[in-house]
Amino acid sequence: MIHGVSANQKSFHAVTFTTGLNIILAERSTFSTEKDTRNGIGKSTLIEIIDFCLGSRLTKGKGLLIEPLEQWAFTIDITLDGNRVKVTRSVAEQNLIVVDGPTKGWTEQPDIDEKTGQKFFRADRWRTLLGWVLFDIPRSIDQLPYKPSYRSLVSYLVRLGSDAYSSPFRHFRQQKTWDIQLHIAYLLGMNWEYAARWQGLKDKEDSIKAFETAIKTGAMEGAIGTVGELETQRIQLEQQAITAAKALETFKVHPQYESIQQDANRLTTDIHNLANDNVTDRRRLTCYEESIKEENPPAATSIELLYEESGLVFPDAVKKTLDEARDFHRQIVSNRSDFLETEIKRIREAIDAREDEIKKLIDRRAEVLQVLQTHGALQEMTKLQERNVELRGSLDRVQARLQEMKNLKVTKREVKTAKTDLVQSAEKDHEQRRDIWSNAVRLFNENSQVLYKTPGKLIIDVGDTGYKYHVDIERSGSEGIEKMKIFCFDLAVLQLQMQIGHGIDFLIHDTLMYDAVDARQRALAFEHADVVTKTLGGQYICTINSDMVPTDDFSAGFDFLKHVRLTLSDASPSESLLGVRFERPKK
């Protein structure tokens, strides 16, 4: 139970709480507006402070973690597991929670400050302790991916912010479905582990869908559609990998491979040069052979006949000179023939010599090429190794994708079967826990019947996608009745928690709970909450504006004012909860 709230600043209006109904009354002046950018009277701030001391996670610059409050520290006087302690948490050191009082029997014991002797918890350990003390959350579930969260559970009993008053089963707008299913199941005494398992199966389904999408879009390397296509690709890669492996296995590296390769290239060049020279000489030889056939000396009287036909008669002296010319010409022809025969012989010998040399070079080149054919260079072997590794990598990736796709089919069948089995198990467990959840249904019905003529309905179903919750009150649809659904559900949760024996024994609502609610239902809600919590030894803390108090609708004998623990006003800063006025940061 929360006994009181205080702060380290004198301007703060401390408040003391008791069992039963505890009202924080806010009186508003006519000139103030809801859009005022200054800090308000402090109704919601008081709930923030309680939640802050109960381990809430805050964002710097929001809520209490603002510059005007950085010197503030807040304290709640509370009984936890039979130990009444004062718990202090400062804005400046929000990770440090100081505890003053006995901590006997707590599963988490505080650390001791060596200098001051103060007992303290770090925020995470403090939340762990409160989870055990207030909701009996077992420590054995720490490693589970989906498990009850203390902060989520307590947010159903300390509702803060407008989002928390939109649905009985939701305490913030973006709350995930599994979070709702699991925590409501825990609060109502149902098997929350089924909700965790449902979410686990949903995660598998999401993974399957993501995998299939990656395949279809080509985002996954090595995956090309069907199992059959992958099998074909695997066979092709296996054949290529075998061929590459054999080539690498028989590959021999010659230490002088590059030098031998250069010799082969040089020999080829020499052979080509010699062959070209032979081609040139053969052309010359043909020309010489044709020329020697055409070399004939002139006829003896050819010159004289020429002149005689011209009508000339040569004297004897001239004839003697012509004879000498004929001899000279015959000598020239003879010399030319001798030259051609000599050149023909020389060229033939040169061609024959080159042919012999070409044959030798070809034989030498064959020997060199034989070495090159049976051996390779180191860089070639490196390329073969790289190719082999590349093929093996591709094969491994395809085989992995192939196995994943085969596993995918198996997993899809397993998930489908697991969902069916889970639904059957959950339905069976739901039936076995009928007494527990039936009590929750009964409590909700009783609470709603106090407010309305016809009792409402808390409906709990087990479906293919998990637990399904619904509340219904006749004439549902108006904003006021929707808020009273939350009231009836939260009060039923508190009753159930205290009956089960968990440590939570308080329920806190903001004035938002009573917006648009008929005056008669407001009066009945206050009276009923007082009776229920006093009977159980718990407490109901709520804030409300003075103009919303249903003074004329309370039952005879019900004294509303005696439940008012603190009255705040916006008439002056000193009458607000904090006792000071400051500008709030703009949103």
Report d(CA 90, CA 69) in Å as an integer. 9
Q: How far is Cα 407 from Cα 207, in angstroms, rounded to an integer? A: 12
Q: Which of the four pLDDT bands, split at 50, 70 and 90, describes residue 221?
A: low
Residue 68 shares a structural domain with residue 178:
yes
Among 523, 544, 434, 451, residue whose Cα is nearest residue 489: 451
* Dihedral sign from CA coordinates of 275, 281, 284, 290: negative
pLDDT at 261: 62
pLDDT in tens, 420-442: 999 999 999 999 989 988 999 99
DSSP 445-489: HHHHHHHSSS--EEEEEEETTEEEEEEE-TTBTBHHHHHHHHHHH
Q: Indicate the DSSP class of residue 558.
A: -
User: Do 222 and 399 touch, CB atoms closer than 8 A?
Assistant: no
| Average pLDDT value for residue range 360-365 | 80
Q: How many CB atoms lie within 10 A of CB 280?
A: 12
Provide the mean pLDDT of the chain.
Answer: 84
Is 421 within the bounds of a domain?
A: no
Do 127 and 30 share a domain, yes or no?
Answer: yes
Cβ-contact 454, 472 below 8 angstroms: no
User: Looking at residue 536, what is its pLDDT?
Assistant: 95
Asked, for residue 479, whether it belongs to a domain, the answer is no
The tens digit of pLDDT for each residue in 369-381 reads: 665 565 555 455 5
Rounded to whole angstroms, the Cα distance separating 233 from 212 reads 19
Q: Which of 114-118, 174-178, 409-413 comes out lowest in average pLDDT? A: 409-413
Q: Who's near 407: CB < 8 A, 6+ residues apart?
A: none
Asked whether residue 163 carries a pLDDT value surpassing 60, the answer given is: yes
Do 278 and 179 belong to one domain?
no
| Residue that terminates a domain, selected from 358, 375, 392 | 375
- Return phi, psi of residue 85, to 5°: -135, 160
Question: 155 with 268, same domain?
Answer: no
Instruction: Give CA–CA dist 126/1, Å, rounded.
Output: 17
Range of the domain at 51: 2-186+505-520+537-575
Q: Rounded CA gap, 4 and 16, in Å? A: 4
pLDDT at 499: 92
pLDDT at residue 258 is higher than 80 = no
Q: In this predicted structure, what is the pLDDT of residue 316?
A: 63
Residue 96 is part of a domain; what is its CATH number? 3.40.50
Report yes or no: 469 and 479 within 8 Å, Cβ to Cβ: no
Give the least confident one: 82-86, 326-330, 384-388. Answer: 384-388
Domain boundary among 375, 407, 423: 375
Same domain as 157, residue 39: yes
Any idea which of 68-77, 521-530, 576-585 has the lowest mean pLDDT? Answer: 576-585
Q: How distant, in Å, are the alpha carbons of 101, 480, 519 from that of 515? A: 39, 7, 10
Is 458 within the bounds of a domain? Answer: no
Residue 191 falls inside a structural domain:
no
Please identify, among 327, 348, 375, the residue that sits at the C-terminal boundary of a domain. Answer: 375
Instruction: Identify the helix (H) or strand (E) that includes residue 5.
Output: strand 2-7
42 lies in the same domain as 180: yes
Sign of CA dihedral 422, 423, 424, 426: positive
Flag whether pLDDT at 269 surpasses 70.
Answer: yes
Higher pLDDT, 291 or 134: 134
Is residue 181 domain-shared with residue 272, that is, in the same domain?
A: no
Q: Is 289 helix (H, G, I), strand (E, B) or coil?
A: helix
- Residue 88 and residue 6 in one domain: yes
Q: How many domains does the chain have?
A: 2
Burial of 226 (0-12, 13-18, 19+ CB in 10 A): exposed
Q: Are residues 181 and 266 in the same domain?
A: no
Q: Is residue 412 part of a domain?
A: no
Most confident of the following: 326-335, 447-456, 508-517 = 508-517
Determine the pLDDT at residue 528: 97
Residues 167 and 26 in one domain: yes
The band of 243, judged by pLDDT with boundaries at 50, 70 and 90, is: confident
Model confidence at 587, pLDDT cuts 50, 70, 90, reads low
Q: 397 lies in a domain?
A: no
> What is the structure's pLDDT at 429?
92
- At 56, the amino acid letter reads S
pLDDT at 387: 64
> Which residue in 462, 516, 463 sits closest to 487, CA to CA?
516
* The total number of residues written for the chain in this structure: 587
Residue 357: partners with Cβ closer than 8 Å, 6 or more residues away: 274
Q: How far is CA 408 from the centre of its chain?
A: 20
Neighbours of 61 (CB within 10 A): 10
What Cα–Cα distance (Å) separates residue 58 from each residue in 52, 129, 511, 586?
8, 19, 22, 17
What mean pLDDT comes out for the span 465-493? 88
Cα separations (Å) of 68 from 62, 229, 516, 584?
11, 67, 34, 8
What pLDDT is attached to residue 310? Answer: 58
pLDDT greater than 70 at residue 416: yes
Q: Which residues pair with 100 in a beta bridge?
A: 86
Does 479 have pLDDT greater than 90?
A: no
Structure tokens at 313: 């008669």
E strand map for 12-140: 15-16, 20-27, 73-80, 83-90, 96-100, 111-112, 119-122
Region 445-455 average pLDDT: 90
Q: What is the mean pLDDT of residues 394-399?
A: 70
Distance CA 195, CA 466 (A): 6
135 or 28, which is more confident: 135
- Residue 302 pLDDT class (50, 70, 90 cuts): low
Domain contains 16: yes
The position carrying tokens 């299939």 is 212
Task: Say if residue 30 is exposed, middle or buried (CB neighbours under 10 Å; 0-12, 13-18, 19+).
Answer: exposed
Higher-scoring residue by pLDDT: 193, 263:
193
With respect to residue 513, please indicate whether it lies within any of the assigned structural domains.
yes
Structure tokens at 451: 């407010």
37 lies in the same domain as 163: yes
CA angle 155, 161, 166 (to 5 degrees): 80
What proportions of the chain, in percent to the nearest 5, are helix, strand and coil?
A: 55, 15, 30
Q: Find the radius of gyration of the CA atoms of the chain.
A: 53
Instruction: State whether the Cα torsion 5-10-13-17 is positive or negative.
Output: positive
On whether both 149 and 8 belong to a single domain, the answer is yes
Give the residue-averaged pLDDT of 97-108.
95
CA distances from 159 to 174, 299, 422 (A): 15, 143, 32
Give the tokens for residue 67. 């510059």
User: Which residue type sits at 426?
Assistant: A
List, as one string, the DSSP characters of 283-297. Answer: HHHHHHHHHHHH--P
**Is residue 37 very low, low, confident or very high in pLDDT (cuts 50, 70, 90)?**
very low
pLDDT recorded at residue 491: 98
Which pLDDT belongs to residue 38?
Answer: 45
Token duo for residue 65: 């973690």
